[in-house]
Structure 1
């Protein structure tokens, strides 16, 4: 079940309330949840910059370590969620990091590009400038398009929890702002047996009341 598609496709589901924004916006994430019986599903959609500080495949060891650390942190439930008045255990977590997970490929491709550039530098620049100018422009255009595409990379996380005393769950505290300082706002939409929720949360107001 894809909660984001369900909520965004439900006309009037949150009439008069804050609606989720699907646009890519740094500092802002979207969270969708559905509580049904003992099951609680939570989906988080965020620009990669909010979790990593960059939005392209890692190109050096530091960025690879940052990616690995973030992928580990999103699995540390106690650092991200507090379930008040109920005990919820993670049953399943699916992660979609898109092109970010293909860091080695992009890293090698970058070296290949540098090697070709160095090889071309050995040729007479003036002699080939007129001939290659158009091709060079096209190449740079394609290269820029690739960076532009990578600069809008999103991360999608889907959590499934099993909760004891689920009917006693009164609120969910989001600790994401502390774990990922680049994150400043989470737009929340959800539904439980108590009704519907639509709210914007931040570091000083991080509790979803059910």
Structure 2
């Protein structure tokens, strides 16, 4: 499922390094380029022939408003609502209808969804760690990929207003690019 995105970190590593100097790294335990910054998310986009893959990583705070385990009825309801929103990528990501894209695969992961805590490069889990992330991976088949001229993230920003910026790394027919999307500048050209 992740065959296209596996190549992405290597292809856009220079972009990630450039952005790493701009981000305040809250992910002290990992020491990675992927900083845990409230209000910020990361999106990898790959368009290869008729396949469009989207991979969103965000602190849970941006999406559900908290990062602790959901124990109250209100917290559990909020997690369920957010999960239901994330299960509809064609609603969250504005794509040209003429491209005729349909979802072929989806994967949602987070400790808030009952998944096991992530394991870092040292083999350590960060169970009980104050930071929780949500990872969403989507694979879409687009019958007319030439109709995909841009990706509109406005619906995503509207659904999750605590998300103030998204670091986008995109590989498409015109090469690779790194862009910072905001609610005021939410459209990325392929």
TM-score class, shorter: 0.7 to 0.9
What is the TM-score with the length of structure 2 in the denominator? 0.78
TM-score (norm 1): 0.71
Measured in 1, the distance between the counterparts of 2:89 and 2:180 equals: 21
User: 5 Å matches for 1:61-76?
Assistant: 61-76=73-88
Q: Which has the higher contact order (CA 8 A, sep 6+)?
A: 1
SS state of the match for residue 38, structure 2? Answer: coil
Aligned to 1:192: 172
Backbone CA RMSD of aligned residues: 2.6
Give the length in aligned residue pairs.
Answer: 166
1:92 maps to 105
Aligned counterparts of 2:17 and 2:109: Cα–Cα separation in 1: 32
Unaligned runs of 5+ residues in structure 1 are: 104-144
Once the two structures are superposed, the pairs formed by residues 1-210 of structure 1 within 5 Å of their partners are 1=2, 6-10=7-11, 14=15, 21-84=33-96, 85-97=98-110, 99-102=111-114, 147=128, 149=129, 151-174=130-153, 175-210=155-190
Find the counterpart in structure 2 of residue 134 from structure 1: none
Q: Describe the shift of the 1:50–1:11 C-alpha distance in structure 2 as closer, same or farther (beyond 3 A).
A: closer
The runs of 5 or more residues in structure 2 that have no matched partner are: 24-32, 116-125
Higher helix share: 1
Can you list the C-alpha shifts for 1:9-34, whole angstroms capped at 9, x where unaligned? 34765499756951100000000011
Contact 1:3 1:43 in 2 (8 A): no
